[in-house]
Amino acid sequence: MIKKCLFPVAGYGTRFLPATKSMPKEMLPVVNKPLVQYGVEEALAAGLNEICFVTGRGKRSIHDHFDISYELEHQIAGTDKEDYLIEIRKVINSGRFASTRQLEMKGLGHAILTGELLVGNQPFGVILADDLCFNDDIGVMAQLVDIYRRTGSTVVAIQEVEEKDVSKFGIIAGVEEEPGLYRVTDMVEKPAPSEAPSNLAIIGRYVLSPFIFEVLRHTPPGKNGEVQLTDALLTLARTSKVLAYKFKGQRFDCGSVGGFVDATNHVYQNIYLKGRK
Ligand code: UTP
């Protein structure tokens, strides 16, 4: 039913300067794999094998990563180094990849609207690769897809955050309809702690109905002069049902240096070392 997953990867990644001066943030490696590959693997595991990138200038290496590198492959063919390419080959063989460019960085909402060309008139997943998520069995995108299949409603992933951190997120207010599943009644982008309607923060995983494009087209720039996805979702919540799900698993904010270091330690200890035993 849902086949496409949109990756808005056009942002400048200023928090990682100078590393991101000529290199996309999404290609920064968490141990031995670029951030964006983790996200694409999560989408594929959820059955979304049409991967759509909304890129910008200087992001070519993302496309190259999901393509064959003939020279390299030829060079290491038949050696034990070939094993390093097993995972990425699997990804390339399981997915289909397309991209379009966001010409100006006018915000996440604008990036998603730019992706309409690739998505068309069907429900789709959205993954922000800098939110790196892990769960032992079912990945976070698969959890959302499951809820969409059951309810037919737009659904966003949320987690509880400390009060001092609410101003970094879109925050929802909602009515809990099932354990961990809320019907959204309000949403505020990056509120001051005194204005936050709860401590339930939206993270970078969504399953959206294509109607969101129509709403985004009419959403004026909001916080920071950017077209905010949160504003469009609130408009949607007022006319139809929007759900928010307290996902199962762990999330690392790899858009910040501290979160990136935490993720690196987690992957090294819990995934990389275990895989080598
Ligand atoms: P961020 O707010 O993390 O912005 O965007 P950023 O530019 O990537 O990073 P900083 O804040 O400068 O360090 C959240 C997500 O939305 C995408 C980003 O690529 C990131 O995945 N995005 C944001 C776009 O694709 N286009 C935009 O205009 C804005």
Give the ligand 1 atom nearest the CA of 16. Answer: 13
Whether ligand 1 lies within 6 angstroms of the CB of 5 is answered as no
> CB neighbours (10 Å) of residue 53?
25
Task: Tell me the pLDDT of the chain (277 aa) as tens digits.
Answer: 899 999 999 999 999 999 999 999 999 999 999 999 999 999 999 999 999 999 998 899 999 999 988 899 888 988 988 888 888 999 999 999 999 999 999 999 999 999 999 999 999 999 999 999 999 999 999 999 999 999 999 999 999 999 999 999 999 999 999 999 999 999 999 999 999 999 999 999 999 999 999 999 999 998 889 999 999 999 999 999 999 999 999 999 999 999 999 999 999 999 999 877 6
pTM (2 d.p.): 0.96
Please check whether residue 233 is in contact with residue 156, taking contact to mean a CB–CB distance below 8 angstroms. yes
Confidence (pLDDT) at 65 = 95
> CB neighbours (10 Å) of residue 248?
15
- Sequence letter at residue 128: L
Whether ligand 1 lies within 6 angstroms of the CB of 116 is answered as no
Spatial separation of the C-alpha atoms in residues 108 and 119, rounded to whole Å: 16
- Exposure string of 141-179, with b = 16+ CB inside 10 Å and e = fewer, is bbbbbebbeeeebbbbbbbebeeeebbebbbbbbeeeee
* Pick among 3.90.120.10, 3.90.550.10, 3.40.1190.20, 3.30.470.30: CATH of 4-275: 3.90.550.10
Identify whether 221 is preceded by a cis peptide bond (ω within 30 of 0). no
Confidence (pLDDT) at 277 = 61
**Domain ranges (residues) in the chain:** 4-275
Interacting residues of 72 by C-beta distance below 8 A, sequence separation 6+: none
Please report, in angstroms and rounded to a whole number, the separation of the first and last CA atoms in the chain: 38
Q: Ligand 1 centroid to 32 CA: how many Å?
A: 23
SS3 21: coil
Whether ligand 1 lies within 6 angstroms of the CB of 13 is answered as yes
Query: Which protein residue has the closest C-alpha to ligand 1 atom 29?
Result: 107
Please check whether residue 43 is in contact with residue 51, taking contact to mean a CB–CB distance below 8 angstroms. yes
